Chains A and B, each alone.
Chain A
Amino acid sequence: MSATLAIDVRGMTKRFGRRTVVDNVDLAVATGEIVGFLGPNGSGKTTTIRMICGLLRPDAGQGTVLGLDVRTQSAAIKRQVGYMTQRFSFYEDLTIAENLTFVARLYELKPVEEAVAKTLEGLGLSSRKDQLAGTLSGGWKQRLALAACIMHQPRLLLLDEPTAGVDPKARREFWDEIHRLAADGLTVLVSTHYMDEAERCHRIGYIAYGRMLATGTVEEVVRGSGLVTYIVHGALRPEQMRALSMADGVEQIAPFGASLHVVGTDRSKLEAALAPLKGEAGIGVEPGETSLEDVFIKFMTGAQERAA
């Protein structure tokens, strides 16, 4: 059991009835690390996070969170973990200050007023503290939720799709805050759908259909996928498009503005498929960089086929 691992769980499994939602997931997160947790909807991200913070009892699996046994010491884990739910889950009919006071008192922070005042100040919400939480905009609700989650100075922060429905500027600020917290030694596990957010994490884990398909840095995951990408510039005629999508070796075609990303695993087959386009007037073909999104789409189709 390494002391430097904030999360070290193996074989985590959760079934709801006959459906296995999380299947034998291993996860190791080092202290101070920001790990992005990616995967399609319903892939088991929320369930895994809930098992880690003790809200769900795993059906199988073992390990430690912050050095505490994930199966038996969930009460102690809860005290040191901040969990921000996917949906705003503070009281909309309480004011901002009342919500924070409630949290401070549940965690027995002393003195309560000081903890609340400090948090309000950090949020820049001191002047609006008597406003009902329900009247806040999406971005402010998210900031309030984050502030409430870290009030008790947790050692591990679990964020479940924290930026869903938040505008780009607020998202940027949110991530700056996450990096500031991690620099102070806080460990962060954050689930997200956004590729740009994944790229702001130190490491990522990709989960689909309850199984962890890849972990590592973004570069490692991209490299590990073995995908090759070519970018096709210019407008293709419908029959050219059809031929390309049917061609052997072409696994994905994704339009990006005026260009196409053509992705495959086998470089020679891919080049052969693209050969007829070379030399066509107004069309350019050049090697491109494989994006995380391409990798994930490959994972998703692969996992889907395996699950089906």
Chain B
Amino acid sequence: MIALFSPSRLGAMLAKEFVQMRRDRITFAMMLAVPIIQLLLFGYAINNDPRGLPAAILALGQDRYTRAVVSALEVSNYYRFGERPQSAAEAESLMAKGEISFLVTIPSDFGTRVERADAPRILVEADATDPAAASGAVSALGTIASRALQRAQGHEPVTDPASRGGDSLSFVVHRRYNPENITQYNIVPGLLGVILQMTMVMMTAMALTREIERGTMENLLAMPATAGEIMLGKVLPYLAIGAVQVVIVLGAAKLLFAVPFLGGLGLLLSCVLIFVLALVLLGYTISTMARTQLQAMQLTFFFFLPSLMLSGFMFPFAGMPGWAQALGEIFPLTHFLRIIRAIMLKGAGLGDIGDEMFYLSLFVPIYAGIALMRFRSTLD
């Protein structure tokens, strides 16, 4: 009679599982590294109420009220006023490029109106392509500016303290590119990047690993196929699949979600092509490292997770601390998201996104180089 449960048999099973777990080093690393990465990213990098947002002030007047408001804004930690554009056109271009999220324009008659208590106004333009990043900062702006103005007036002996011009200060907020604050406008173009990243990297990584796992690689290498031919032959089909995905997502963006499409389709497609090429080459690189399809999948997720969190897809990029932003720059998705949002929602042209396009295209030779270097055209 065999016992239904034997501690020693269970012990044997447990011991065997732990030994196997330890042998598969990539899986083991994943089990330990993924929680740590998640913890660090979620814990430190992610901030839904971002501070230190890149902003610019366009102060058209030189009076002391303007200066008071400007300096108050500059010391607040909600904004980081790095740029001082000289003209409205310059400010516009900074925003289209995505270098600033906010533009505060103080009209030239601001001082006069304050003194006359004639409804002084400040114009705030927020880049609402990422609604989450915009809203908190916009509401904070009013408080900071009103207080600064009151203080400036309070120290002013000439003005009648009873007039309290600061109270009548009004803000005209323009939510640029997405006046209705529709989340889909932000998410749907971003999803194109995420979907492409997910499928392209994983499919390519698995495709080559499958050959190794099934033993067909040995045969392939014994036949007269070169490393370059094998790589292109593996990469191009997935490029075609990527093209189908692009059509589906862009079609859905227009028909189902009514996401505006302001920029040029040709420019967008060129960027998508660069992006997909980089992804497919990355997948190929992963497949030169993984021995099995399972490992390839794990390595893909290892890349996928931080890329999703640090790219600005799920959480505002500007809200992350400096180290997280720096880390985010090494993912192609980060650059692609900036490009696609700029083209679709802001109508950006080549001049506005040229830099980002350049960074994105850098990934292609880097990944291709690593892949070709790592590819073993022999079995050793």
**A interface with B by C-beta (< 8 Å):** 14, 16, 50, 53-57, 74-75, 78-79, 81, 83, 85, 87-92, 103, 106-107
> What total of chain B residues lie within 8 Å of the partner, measured CB to CB?
15
Please name all residues of chain B whose beta carbon is closer than 8 Å to the beta carbon of A85 when the two chains form the complex. Answer: 215, 218-219, 222
Q: A20: shortest Cβ distance to chain B, in Å?
A: 14
The CB with the most chain A CB atoms within 10 A, among B223, B225, B378, is that of B223
Please name all residues of chain B whose beta carbon is closer than 8 Å to the beta carbon of A57 when the two chains form the complex. Answer: 378, 380
Query: How long is the Cα–Cα vector from A230 to B216 in the complex, in angstroms?
Result: 48
Query: How long is the Cα–Cα vector from A90 to B214 in the complex, in angstroms?
Result: 9
Q: A145: shortest Cβ distance to chain B, in Å?
A: 9
Query: How long is the Cα–Cα vector from A75 to B217 in the complex, in angstroms?
Result: 16
Q: B206: shortest Cβ distance to chain A, in Å?
A: 14
Query: How long is the Cα–Cα vector from A75 to B229 in the complex, in angstroms?
Result: 14
Q: B197: shortest Cβ distance to chain A, in Å?
A: 27
Identify which of residues 158-186 in chain B touch chain A, using a CB-to-CB cut-off of 8 Å: none
Contact yes or no, A83 B378, CB < 8 A: no
Q: B226: shortest Cβ distance to chain A, in Å?
A: 8
Contact yes or no, B224 A89, CB < 8 A: no
Could you mark each residue 188-219 of chain B with 1 if its beta carbon is under 8 Å from any beta carbon of chain A, else 0? 00000000000000000000000000111111
Chain A residue with Cβ nearest B223: A106
Query: How long is the Cα–Cα vector from A91 to B215 in the complex, in angstroms?
Result: 9
Query: How long is the Cα–Cα vector from A14 to B380 in the complex, in angstroms?
Result: 10
The CB with the most chain A CB atoms within 10 A, among B217, B221, B225, B226, is that of B221
User: Known contacts A75-B224, A107-B224; is A89 also within 8 Å of B378 by CB?
Assistant: no
Q: A56: shortest Cβ distance to chain B, in Å?
A: 5
The CB with the most chain B CB atoms within 10 A, among A50, A81, A107, is that of A50
Query: How long is the Cα–Cα vector from A5 to B343 in the complex, in angstroms?
Result: 67
Known: A54-B222, A78-B223, A85-B219. 15 other contacts (CB 8 A): A14-B380, A55-B222, A55-B378, A55-B379, A56-B378, A56-B379, A57-B378, A75-B224, A78-B224, A83-B219, A85-B215, A85-B218, A89-B214, A89-B218, A103-B223
**B interface with A by C-beta (< 8 Å):** 214-219, 221-226, 378-380
CB < 8 Å: which of A79, A89, A107 contacts B219? A89
Please name all residues of chain B whose beta carbon is closer than 8 Å to the beta carbon of A103 when the two chains form the complex. Answer: 223
Contact yes or no, A55 B221, CB < 8 A: yes
Please name all residues of chain A whose beta carbon is closer than 8 Å to the beta carbon of B221 when the two chains form the complex. Answer: 55
Please name all residues of chain A whose beta carbon is closer than 8 Å to the beta carbon of B214 when the two chains form the complex. Answer: 89, 92
Q: B216: shortest Cβ distance to chain A, in Å?
A: 5
Query: How long is the Cα–Cα vector from A103 to B219 in the complex, in angstroms?
Result: 10
CB < 8 Å: which of B216, B226, B378 contacts A54? B378
Chain A residue with Cβ nearest B219: A89
User: Known contacts A89-B216, A92-B214; is A78 also within 8 Å of B222 by CB?
Assistant: yes
Q: A125: shortest Cβ distance to chain B, in Å?
A: 19
Query: How long is the Cα–Cα vector from A193 to B200 in the complex, in angstroms?
Result: 44
Identify the 9 closest CB pairs spanning chains A and B, nearest first: A89-B219, A83-B222, A87-B215, A89-B215, A106-B223, A89-B216, A55-B379, A79-B224, A56-B380
Query: How long is the Cα–Cα vector from A307 to B379 in the complex, in angstroms?
Result: 26
Query: How long is the Cα–Cα vector from A130 to B291 in the complex, in angstroms?
Result: 31
User: Known contacts A75-B224, A106-B225; is A90 also within 8 Å of B379 by CB?
Assistant: no
Q: B315: shortest Cβ distance to chain A, in Å?
A: 41
Query: How long is the Cα–Cα vector from A66 to B193 in the complex, in angstroms?
Result: 52
Q: A58: shortest Cβ distance to chain B, in Å?
A: 10
Query: How long is the Cα–Cα vector from A91 to B219 in the complex, in angstroms?
Result: 10
Contact yes or no, B216 A55, CB < 8 A: no
Please name all residues of chain B whose beta carbon is closer than 8 Å to the beta carbon of A55 when the two chains form the complex. Answer: 218, 221-222, 378-379
Chain B residue with Cβ nearest A50: B379
Query: How long is the Cα–Cα vector from A85 to B217 in the complex, in angstroms?
Result: 11
Query: How long is the Cα–Cα vector from A106 to B221 in the complex, in angstroms?
Result: 11
Query: How long is the Cα–Cα vector from A92 to B380 in the complex, in angstroms?
Result: 25
